[in-house]
Amino acid sequence: MRRGLLSDYFDGVAVKQLSAVEANALRSNQHEFNSSKQLKSLLGTPDRVKYPTIFVWIGGEQEALSEEGFLTWYQSRKLPRREHRLYFPTNAVCDAAAEGDVLFIARRTDNTLMAIIVPGHSTIQNQLLWLFGLEMQPALQFESLEISKDNAAELDFTARYILDELGIEVEEPEADRLDALIEKFGLVFPTTRVLSDLARTSLPQVSAVDDPDAALTAWIDREEQLFRRLERHVVADRIKNGFHSDEGTDVDGFMSFSKSVQNRRKKRAGLALEHHLEAVFSAHRLRFDREAETENRNKPDFLFPGQEEYRNLAFPAERLTMLGSKSTLKDRWRQVLSEAERITQKHLLTLEPGISENQTNEMQAKQLQLILPQSLHETYLESQRGWLMTLGNFVELVKERQRAE
């Protein structure tokens, strides 16, 4: 199925790390950046342009901030020493900036801008660097990159995940084909298992036996497309019918519906991942229990070979394996650490790209092995990749342990 490209949404980006002076300036009444060769490459050299801008701040577990505003790129000095400056208005996003944060100025194809501020050396920083194709860590001077069809990332599941974090909804290039697959559901969401089954059967050429990593990403990608397309129809119908109450417009009803949409997305993503992992393990004829109960009523997502062997203290602990699965992590990976006391090294599979080096270092210290589909490894720093496992690696590990029984 064809994919869109990042160049359909952006045509350039500049990035820099904020110094203490710049972070303070963003929170004062004089928040301006002086011109640089890289900013001129991104914005040109007009006398004065006022760009409609979406300001975004994303950081850690805190709620993301988003605010509409503008950026003014203007010539502060005339020839022969032409100098441009970029002016920021006061807003909540700029107020959240701190020394060491990273600023992305991204130019949209509709000639608007996004100003994105994220913590330095964070997961979201790594994700944005990968998305925009920037290989170097941000320095105190702007670096820029033109985004074209030749160098733009394809909007696969990983790219769409990051764009979703920025509040950008990606249009599917083959909507008619997706509509044909979900037509039988009408305006009713099927169970997650039914939609997961449909995603897999719609891709008969994909083989979990031949390539478990590629199979998992293809199935997850397809299910995400199917779900979002069905969701679009359901939401459009609900909006068409309106939100009304005896007092007039039902604001509470609208807010409740919006929250339910977000909650459904999160819950479905985690269940879908478990369904597709189950299909991979079954294809390789691994023995496992899903959500078996261990100590203190903990229920790891997958336990190999199963609950019976885990509870049998005569069964060697080194032949037991547990796997947690979380579509996204944030700080929730620590939940896995207490889920099976007999197993010293835990395994955790996620679809989260570009997790920060600080977090992966802590995982190693806690004897938690991170697993990602092969295609996501490129979103991580070179220093992290040697430690990461693929799903194929994990399947072979479990096979080896089960052959030794």
Contact call for residues 141 and 33 (beta carbons, < 8 A) = no
Active site residues: 310
Look at strands 83-87 and 10-17 and give their pairing.
Answer: unpaired
Residue 22 CA: distances (Å) to CA of 100, 109, 121:
10, 28, 18
Greater confidence (172 vs 122) lies with 122
Whether 345 and 366 have beta carbons less than 8 Å apart is answered as: no
Q: Is the pLDDT of residue 2 over 60?
A: no
| Residue 255 confidence (pLDDT) | 74
Q: Which residues contact 169 (CB under 8 A, 6 or more apart)?
A: 163
pLDDT of residue 217: 96
User: What integer best gives the mean pLDDT of the chain?
Assistant: 90
Query: What secondary structure letter does DSSP report for 7?
Result: G
Instruction: Give 262 or 384, the one with higher predicted confidence.
Output: 384
Q: Is the pLDDT of residue 117 over 80?
A: yes
Please tell me the distance from the alpha carbon of residue 143 to that of residue 141, in angstroms, as a whole number: 6
Give Cα separations from 110 to 12, 51, 227, 388 (angstroms): 12, 10, 28, 39
Tokens 């070979």 correspond to 305
Average pLDDT for 113-129: 94
Confidence of residue 81 (pLDDT cuts 50, 70, 90): low
Domains of the chain, with CATH numbers?
5-166 (2.40.330.10), 174-283 (3.40.91.80), 289-403 (3.40.91.80)
pLDDT for the residue numbered 60: 66
pLDDT, tens only, 249-293: 776 777 787 778 778 888 899 999 999 999 999 999 999 999 899
Q: According to the 3-state scheme, what is the secondary structure of 86-155?
A: EECCCCHHHHCCCCCCEEEEEEECCCCEEEEEECCCCHHHHHHHHHHCCCCCCCCCCEEEECCCCCCCEC
The confidence score (pLDDT) of residue 388 equals 98
DSSP notation for 274-325: HHHHHHHHHHTT---EES---GGG---SEEES-HHHHH-TTS-GGG-EEEEE
Residues in the chain: 405
Query: Tokens 């909540």 correspond to what residue?
Result: 92
Span 358-367, average pLDDT: 96
Name every residue whose Cβ is closer than 8 Å to that of residue 89 and which is 6 or more positions away in sequence: 31, 69, 70
User: 295-304, 320-329, 331-340, 359-368: which range is least confident on average?
Assistant: 331-340
The helix or strand, by DSSP H or E, that contains position 244, with its residue range, turns out to be strand 244-245
Which long-range CB contacts under 8 A does 163-172 form with residues at least 24 apart? 163/9, 163/131, 165/58, 165/64, 165/124, 165/127, 166/56, 166/58, 166/114, 166/116, 167/54, 167/56, 167/66, 168/9, 170/4, 170/9, 171/4, 172/4, 172/225, 172/228, 172/229
Q: Report pLDDT for 372.
A: 98
